[in-house]
Every structure is written in C-alpha cells, then in structure tokens.
Amino acid sequence: MAPAARPTLNDDFLWLLRRAAAPLKSAPWWVQVTLVYLAARVVSYAILLATAGHDGVTPWGSGPAGYLDFINRWDGEWYQRIYSGGYPHSIPRDGNGNAQTNAWAFYPLFPFLVRGLHAATTLDWVVLAPAVATLAGLAATLMIYVLFARFVPGATALWGAAFFATFPISPVLQIPYAESLSTFLLAAALYLLITSRYGWAIPVVILLCLSRPAGVPFAGVVAVHILLRWRRRRRTPFPPREAAGSLVLLLVSGAMALAWMFIAWAATGERSAYTDTETSWRGGTLVLFKPWFDAGVQLVGPLWGPLLPVLLAALAALALNSHAVRLIGTELRVWCALYLLYLLAVLDPQTSTFRMLLPLFPLALAAAAGSNSRAYRWTVVVMFTALQIVWVVWLWRWTPLPGGGDYPP
C-alpha cells in the first residue's frame, strides 16, 4: 500500500485560512459584507498610495503626493469648489459666447453634505470628503447585498457585493466623488420600487437626482414597473392606494430628471445653462447619439465606424437577454437597459465612460449567479483587482499627452 501523502506547507496554509474564516460564515450578513468592503478598500488604498509615490509634475503639485492629496483631484477639485463657494451666478463664456467649464456640471448633494458635516465637525474637506465617500460606499455595498438577496441565496448575494466592491473603478468609492453616494441612493431606490414602498422611494429619488443625473432612466424603470403591475393585477393585486403611490413616484421621478436644469436656469437666468456647461467639455452642442458615431469613425474610419455603436447596442441586448442576467429580475434588467440607452444618447464616449458604468452594478449579481465555482468567483475578484491597478495608473495618475492635458478618469 502506497504511503499517505505528506501535507505540504500550502496545505497547512489553506487549513489555517479555513479555520480563520470559519467564524465569518456564521457572522451576521452585515458583518460579512462590511469585512468584504473594508478588505477591498484596503487593497484600493494600497494601489492608490503606491501610485501616488511615483507621482511627477502635475497641475496639482510636483513630486510624490500623499494619499489624501492624490485622491483629491479631477472632479474632486470641482466638488471642493462647490463646497467652498457654491455655484457661479452666471455661466462663464469666451469671446465667442461659448460656455466655459464650470461647477454647474456637478450635482450638489455630495459637496453640500460635506459642507454640512464640516459645520458640525470643523473637519476640512481633504479629510471629511474622502471619509463621507468611503462610508457612503459601505452603505451602497450593504444596500446592494440587501437588493441582491431578494433574488439569490445569501452566499451568492455576498459574492455579488464582492464583485461590486472590487470592480476595476471601485477605488472611486473612497475618492471624493459623488459616485458612492449616488450608488447607495440608486440601490435603495430600486429596492424600494421592487418592494412596492413607493412613498419611501420618493425622498430617496429626490436625493438621487440631486447627486448624479439618473432621473431619466429611473423614471423609465418606474413606468415599466407600473405597467407590469397593472398587467398582472388579476394574479397579484394592485390596490388603488399602491397604484396612486406608484404614479406619484413616476411624476416625481420625471420632474426630478429635469430639476437640475431648471435650478441652473433659475440661478443663472440662462435657460441652457446646464446643457451649455455639460457640452463645454466636448467643445460642441448636444446632439443625441452623435458622439458615439463620431468616436466610431475616429477609431476605425468612415466605412466601419458608424457600425460600432450598432454593434455595441447589439452586444448589450444579447447580454441583457442571457440566462444569467435574467436571474436579476425585470426591474434591474430594465434599469441596466435604460441606463445604457441613456449613456448612448447623451454621453460623449471617453476614458470617463468606464466610471459611468458603475450604476450597472446589478450585472455584478448576474456575474456571481452565473457560476457556483469558487475558482471562477475568485478569478473574477483577482482580475477586477488587477484592473484597478490599470485604472489608477493609466487614468488617475497624471500623464501629459503630446498635445497637452491628460485622459480624465
């Protein structure tokens, strides 16, 4: 009889790892999610800190930067301006009347929340803003787990939350941007909609639409939800009180989709203040869908370029109709479809587009539910973490282009 194989050092390490992780399996779900999120943020912190140590000459300074200074860049600088001085009373324009970049492109909830906390704590922006963003990211991850757990067992929901927490652009969850706060509000709004708590969803949607531009696709999701409930009313009752509440939510969502444009108009006296400001970054007027076709032409030429957006839309449609994505429920699928359509309509495709994909977090559940294999799931986490390095080094770190400037993250 062959002798039994001797345990290796690797076997001992795995045994110790399993023993150390065993108590976590019986811990409350919120403890598990919190630990996953904190571990992901520590890894992102290390990536950001290591990249900051190799910083050179930038518009924000010269030489290696500290962590807090390094993350307070790009749009974070705009949010800090709003925190310090609010919004301009008129749209700055050049000699030809073209709008110049200004704070009206950025929504007020995040910087004003930090300003309120500053009044209560006296902590400065450079400390308080990242803290608020990081805690909002934790709230978003917890809320996303709760949302996912309506469709899949807790273990799969936890993996979905882990995919979100380690997503390639997830370092933005601890950077003074509005993404973490808006993602929490979006996840909460979707959960309240799906559970038919329309009255509670109304204030959440109002805050959501003051954090990031999400009102148009969300109003579309509410409309589809109402139509589905009305269609199924004989099998699943749709009481008049709930029907009325859902219609109020639809009206509020539609109104808030346009609210920031009207606020900018009222504050500046210029009807096109918001749209002029948004398009000042692209150097032209807003023409729906056109920037994607222009980008296709720039990438592959005039013959095949116009087909690229069509191909992207076809691939997105196939993905959203896959078996794994069907597991996430109708409302979450509709949200992903309408949000992608919204990006295709209004976004000027550039390197910031990667960051704009964060609201598609329901697809993390589809990715987690697609396979129960631990090897697959850990591979996704490792791959996402490696891509964080790519995102931070490529886009967050300033690398001057030959023509000046740099690709924005």
What are the pLDDT digits (tens) for 131-187? Answer: 999 999 999 999 999 999 999 999 999 999 999 999 999 999 999 999 999 999 999
Side-chain-facing half-sphere of 364: CA atoms under 13 Å: 27
- Say which residue the tokens 């794994």 belong to: 324
The residues facing 241 across adjacent strands are: none
- Give the pLDDT of residue 213: 95
Q: What is the pLDDT of residues 30-73, one digit of tens each?
A: 999 999 999 999 999 999 999 999 998 999 988 899 999 999 99
User: What are the helix (H) ranges across 64-178?
Assistant: 67-71, 75-85, 109-121, 125-148, 154-166
Q: Sign of dihedral through CA atoms 394, 395, 399, 403?
A: positive
Give the contacts of 204 (CB within 8 A, at least 6 positions apart): 185, 188, 189, 192
Mean pLDDT of 290-302: 92
How much is the pTM?
Answer: 0.94
Q: Cα(408)–Cα(324) distance, rounded to whole angstroms?
A: 33
Nearest CA to 90 out of 286, 256, 266 is that of 266
48, 71 in Cβ contact below 8 A? yes
